[in-house]
């Protein structure tokens, strides 16, 4: 259900490389959530760096929603970078596992496989 790799980079370095890999692979970054900073603004001292990237390929997103508009709730793809036990980790929930839990559509399965191949490549390029 999860794909997680470790990196020798800092969260900052991995985040920069992830953004570049997203673009190289014809996806776009819609938003980056800095969870540590967001929690701090709410008065919660959270010790771990954690950034969540919302990434999307518009053609793949349209294909998913054209098949089943309710799948908008599973979009966009999220790739996280965090620091845990002195290691930087980059990971995501597998699109194939997520969509197969929500639908038995063959079309969605194929799109999820394509997206998963690309997002794995993005993560591997960033590590």
Report domain extents, the chain: 2-126
pLDDT in tens, 69-126: 999 999 999 999 999 999 999 999 999 999 999 999 999 999 999 999 999 999 999 9
Spacing of C-alpha 112 from chain mean position: 13
30-78 pLDDT, tens digit per residue, is 999 999 999 999 999 999 999 999 999 999 999 999 999 999 999 999 9
Share of the chain above pLDDT 90, in %: 100
Count of CB atoms within 10 A of residue 50's CB? 19
Identify the CATH assignment for 2-126 out of 3.30.310.70, 1.10.287.110, 1.10.730.10, 3.90.550.10. Answer: 3.30.310.70
Report the pLDDT value the prediction gives residue 12, as an integer from 0 to 100: 97
DSSP class per residue in 53-99: EEEE-HHHHHHHHHH-GGGGGG-SEEEEEEEETTEEEEEEE-HHHHH
Instruction: Detail the DSSP E strand segments found in 8-45.
Output: 28-34
The pLDDT assigned to 122 comes to 98
Backbone angles phi, psi at 86, to 5 degrees: 60, 25
Burial 23-41 (b: 16+ CB within 10 A, else e): eeeebebeeeeebbeeeee
Residue 48: predicted pLDDT: 96
Which one, of 105, 82, 112, 111, lies nearest residue 1 by Cα?
112
Reply yes or no: is the peptide bond before residue 76 cis, omega within 30 of 0: yes
| Single pTM value for the model | 0.94
Picking from 30, 73, 81, 76, the residue whose alpha carbon sits closest to that of residue 52 is 81
């Amino acid at each position: 259900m999860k794909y997680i790799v470790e990196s020798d980079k800092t969260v900052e370095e991995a985040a920069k490389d992830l953004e570049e890999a997203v673009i190289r692979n014809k996806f776009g970054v819609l938003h980056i959530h800095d969870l540590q900073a967001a929690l701090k603004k709410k008065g919660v001292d959270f010790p771990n760096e954690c950034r969540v990237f919302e990434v999307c390929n518009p053609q793949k997103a349209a294909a998913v929603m054209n098949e089943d508009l309710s799948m908008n709730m599973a979009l966009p793809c999220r790739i996280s970078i965090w620091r845990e036990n002195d290691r930087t980790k980059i990971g995501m929930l597998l699109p194939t596992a997520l969509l197969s839990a929500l639908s038995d559509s063959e079309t969605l399965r194929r799109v999820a496989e394509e997206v998963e191949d690309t997002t794995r490549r993005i993560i591997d390029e960033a590590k």
